[in-house]
Amino acid sequence: MLEDVCLTQVIGANGVEVHAITRRPNNKKEVYVAGKFDQAGSLPCPALCIFDNDARQWEASKLDISGQINTLYWADVNTLLVGGDMNINNTATYLAIYNAKSRDWRAFEGDITNIPGPVTSIAVNADTIDSIFISGTSANGGAAYVMKLKSDRKFQALSMLSKYVPDIHLLTPAIAGLGDNTVIRNIQVLELQDGNDSNDFLDDNQVLLAMGSLNLPNFGNASAATFDGTSWKPLLLATTADNRPGTIVSLFSQKQQKFSSGGWFIPPVLLLSATNKKPLGKKLAKGFVILISLAIALGLVFLLVCLGVLASYIRRHREGYVPMPTTPSPRGQSPDIQERLPPSHLFSSIGQNSGRNGVPVI
């Protein structure tokens, strides 16, 4: 419903495109709509508009931006990473940062001069924007590219031949493992149950997933492929109703991915398998799982036994049962119970009232 309201009010002229709709984290009020447009309703807000869900009206980010925005990524509740083909303060850029709190734009903190063209997708493999992947199309020829921000704050192209090439930035997409006519719609970092070999692009338990219409030189057409830090491997193949190669646009989950110092968690709803490696969260060893299960089972049994004893005690108390005395009674009280009696005392009354029928008396 909210998306319908946004799109209805934004789209009003030929050539208008909406590429991303996202809600500000921990904020149900602000919805950000990005694409290629000049206004929403009668409000001028080129490329990025903010919809106030409470007031049901549009707000402008600022008027010092123009062009086209393709993707949005929230680094935190205030920092929005923006990719596209934009002009900010009359400066052309493919990557920028928008501060949602102060409502202003700033340049990306890194060297973006070697980005070959408009950014169409952003992915991260850490809890900050210091380690990100970007993908897009080259402004010179339209070839697809995938790059990562390195520790020196420069973007480096993904390549399986980096150790053989003096300048990795000179690598073309074909050399990097993507063939001609490749169109990348989205990229995302996934965590693996079984790790990869250490490399310069990904942690040893991560893999990069690329989606779209891909051409892998050693395989052919694919709708999704994974990059393990050294080479691309096909993952999914989709076809249209008329048996033409299909396209996968994105991967989504019920919960947002969370990063931590020891890796990150993917919700159980994701069941993709990359080369027989499943993107699951961290698992305990089987031995610990068995011990924990046994401890839980024994604890439950002990609890049930205690509850049964307690229930029995309460029931007997309600029925009037009292504990039997354990101390001897004073002499003369209850001799039949508290004292030892000789046999003559026990059998003295036998036969006293049974002799009238002539039965022998002992």
Enumerate the H helices of the chain as residue ranges. 2-10, 286-318, 335-338, 343-347
pLDDT over 80 (residue 322): no
**Whether residues 203 and 291 fall in one domain:** no
How many domains does the structure of the chain reveal?
3
Segment holding 149, helix H or strand E: strand 144-149
Residues 189-205, mean pLDDT to the nearest whole number: 77
pLDDT score, position 189:
87
Q: pLDDT digit string (tens) for 59-109?
A: 888 767 889 999 999 888 888 999 999 998 888 999 999 998 888 888 888
Q: Does residue 142 lie within any of the structural domains?
A: yes
Round the average pLDDT of the chain to a whole number and report it: 76
> What pLDDT was estimated at residue 162?
37
**Residue 324, domain member (yes or no):** no
Look at residue 200 and tell me if it is in a domain: yes
Domain membership of residue 64 as a residue range: 1-108
The residue written with tokens 């692009």 in the block is 201
Among 244-258, 298-312, 331-345, the range scoring the smallest mean pLDDT is 331-345
Q: Please report the pLDDT score of residue 4 as a whole number.
A: 46
| Percentage helix, strand, coil for the chain under 3-state DSSP, each rounded to 5 | 15, 35, 50
Residues 144 and 258 in one domain: yes
Whole-angstrom Cα distance, residue 89 to residue 99?
15
Of residues 17 and 361, which shows the higher confidence score?
17
Q: What pLDDT shows up at residue 39?
A: 86
> Would you state the pLDDT for residue 1?
44
Q: Given a cut of 70, is residue 281 above it in pLDDT? A: no
Q: Is the pLDDT of residue 285 over 60?
A: yes
- Which has the minimum average pLDDT: 54-68, 125-139, 168-182? 168-182
Task: For the beta carbon of residue 101, count every other beta carbon within 10 angstroms.
Answer: 8
Domain match, 277 and 128 both: yes
Question: What b-and-e string marks burial along 280-317, b requiring 16 or more CB atoms within 10 Å of the CB?
Answer: beeeeeeeeeeeeeeeeeeeeeeeeeeeeeeeeeeeee
The model's confidence at residue 8, banded by pLDDT at 50, 70 and 90, is very low
